[in-house]
Amino acid sequence: MTADTPSGDPASATPTESTAATEHPDPAGVAALVTMLTATHAAVYATAAAGGAVAPLGPAAAQARELARLSCLAHQALRDDLITAIRARGGDAPPALPAYRLPVAPEGIGAALALLARIEDACAMAAHDAVAVLVGDVRALALDALTGTAVRAQRARIAAGMPLAAASRALPGT
């Protein structure tokens, strides 16, 4: 028996730890948030890997290091917000995996920047799709996440030497 199928069963009216979520179930919204969180967990791992890879490369890698650091911090903050939002809706926030296989090995500055851009593009897709099913403050969260990913991906492409005109996207996340 679920809260959205009321019956005369007294058990169905028993409060639980996720009373709010069961009174107003939003499985699609929770799933969208979980999808964003999954991508964000991976992004935290990957941005840390990118930053670590360029750490010993000296002043030439300073910009890449800074971009990786800022990206990692942004994804960590988003991760925490997503976990809070999921739990507030009675959902289970999946933990990060021990490791992720990176789409680009951050061997060198260029590869690290390419990895950063790829990560942001991937997270943009999750945020873009989440906007459609979320409402209220969590839609704003997804919208701001999408904007952040678009800007950070663009910065990574510019830092990699891409011309300004080629660094942006018409519709980020699509």
Partner 1 sequence: MCKAATVDPANLTHASRRRLLTGLTSLALTGFAGFAGFEAAGCSTTVTTNRTGPAVGPDGDDRRAARAAAVRAAALAAAYRTAAERHPSLRPLFDTLRAHHEVQLRTLAEQFPGSAPATPTQATTPTQAATPTQAIGRDGAGTAGTAQLVNESPTARAATLASLTGMEGAATNAARTDCLRAGGPLASLLASMCAAGTAHAELLALAASRVSG
Q: Is the CB of 88 or the CB of 102 nearer to partner 1?
A: 102
Between CA 54 and CA 23 the distance in angstroms is 49
Query: Helix or strand or coil: residue 112?
Result: helix
Q: Does 11 bind partner 1 (CB under 8 A)?
A: no
Asked if 71 and 47 count as a contact pair (C-beta separation under 8 A), the reply is: yes
Asked if 173 and 128 count as a contact pair (C-beta separation under 8 A), the reply is: yes
Task: Give me the 129-148 binding string for partner 1, x by CB under 8 A, dash otherwise.
Answer: xxxxx-----xx-xx--xx-
* Binders in 96-115 for partner 1, by CB under 8 A: 97, 100-103
Between CA 36 and CA 72 the distance in angstroms is 15
Note the Cα 34 to chain centre separation in Å.
9
Question: What single-letter amino acid sits at 107?
Answer: E
Q: Is the CB of 46 or the CB of 64 nearer to partner 1?
A: 46
Q: Which of the ranges 14-22, 78-86, 105-113, 116-124 carries the binding residues for partner 1, by CB under 8 A?
A: 116-124
Q: Which of 149, 156, 159, 160 binds partner 1 (CB under 8 A)?
A: 149
Residues in the chain: 174
- List contacts with partner 1 (CB under 8 A): 27-28, 31-32, 34-35, 38-39, 42, 45-46, 94, 97, 100-103, 118-119, 121-133, 139-140, 142-143, 146-147, 149-151, 154-155, 158, 163-174
